[in-house]
Structure 1
């Protein structure tokens, strides 16, 4: 039996991935829920080490997967992407992809509308865009952390890129209770200096984290005082 810890993207656990457990769990849940909508040639923009490749291609409607990322990314030391790009123009023909996806990428883009326009360009008519972004999240990959988006800004950016308003759906990956669970794990991991105290607080907090996630209700409408840990978008060309 292998002693290798479970994969943080595909099998997140509080024991092994305490600080990232909430976001990894909810991202995997969102990707799984939306997977059946994806199809054909799928281009994963900003793919990193392509952690969801095998999970996505369990959907037989996805016939090929192409991971695209920037040269020099630390994620590529062991897993280079299929295709490199310059962060501006995607190296694909017009109307050549059935699906474009970008998970936790757009917050790092200084040119989100330009990239969304490129994704629109390479999608076939009827093609689907699937993306996720954090809403509540600490600074990360500094200094390449650019934005936090609201549902309204995502709608505007995608419409400016060419998508029709009627084809865009924005949802939340988690609500108030999931956000609180993520805050607890981050505070204990980052702010508690004593390893002994930190480990004790982690053990004590695990039932509370599970309780919060079990009862979390992501908002179905975005109104005053709504909270989203993260957002996902489905849009059609």
Structure 2
């Protein structure tokens, strides 16, 4: 993820990843960082993954003491949390004063990990949630624009057809040139947005724990 990897590269000390899944972003942390993964105990059954050296918990209270980690991040996790208010309060609790938070959420995204997909957040709601949890220096950045969204929607239809019945696969093959063009257009929207940022794929958020 374009905004996450530079953030990870600047970390030091202890770092907690919540909802870590297979921990694909661990490799981007500098040498010397102490990484800790955390995930829901039902993740293996619900989502089909389980990783060694990750702490699994009941999805309520983080099993770490207060003021424990210098940094904390989670990617595309908040929409799967039934109580995002309490979740962000838990993130706040385990961070040291002045600790750094990064997370990303989708905005224009399909219904996924069904039925564990509960929310879509606007910048206003994200700021309110973070301020209520005790964070400051909040920055919210859009990922792409409405042109990016349009391009990726066409590409998603293309992939769905390729995975369908033989008539659908045939239609998907016919649409392949259009899908390729839309993918290029979508990437342009990521790198140099020219459309509306109010209709984007999602948001990347950074914040700091007050202290």
Q: Given the alignment, which residue of 133, 144, 149 partners 1:179?
A: 149
Please say which of residues 192-201 and 80-89 is displaced more in the overlay: 192-201
Which residue is equivalent to 1:228?
200
Q: Give matches, 1:106-185, under 5 Å.
A: 106-164=78-136, 167-185=137-155
Q: Give matches, 1:1-237, under 5 Å.
A: 28-54=1-27, 56-57=28-29, 59-60=30-31, 63-74=33-44, 77=49, 79-80=51-52, 82-164=54-136, 167-190=137-160, 193=164, 194-216=168-190, 217-218=192-193, 226-237=198-209
Cα 1:176–1:44 shift into 2, 3 Å: same
Q: What is the TM-score of this pair, normalised by structure 1?
A: 0.77
How far off is 1:226 after superposition?
1.6
Structure 2 portions without partners, runs of 5+: none
Say how many residue pairs are matched.
201
Counterpart contact for 1:104–1:132, Cα < 8 Å? yes
Greater strand share, structure number:
2
Counterpart contact for 1:172–1:231, Cα < 8 Å? yes
C-alpha separation in 2, matches of 1:132 and 1:40: 22
Structure 1 portions without partners, runs of 5+: 1-27
Give the aligned CA root-mean-square deviation in angstroms.
2.2
C-alpha separation in 1, matches of 2:22 and 2:149: 26
Cα 1:132–1:77 shift into 2, 3 Å: closer
Cα 1:51–1:92 shift into 2, 3 Å: same
Q: What is the TM-score of this pair, normalised by structure 2?
A: 0.86
Counterpart contact for 1:47–1:81, Cα < 8 Å? no
Cα 1:225–1:231 shift into 2, 3 Å: closer
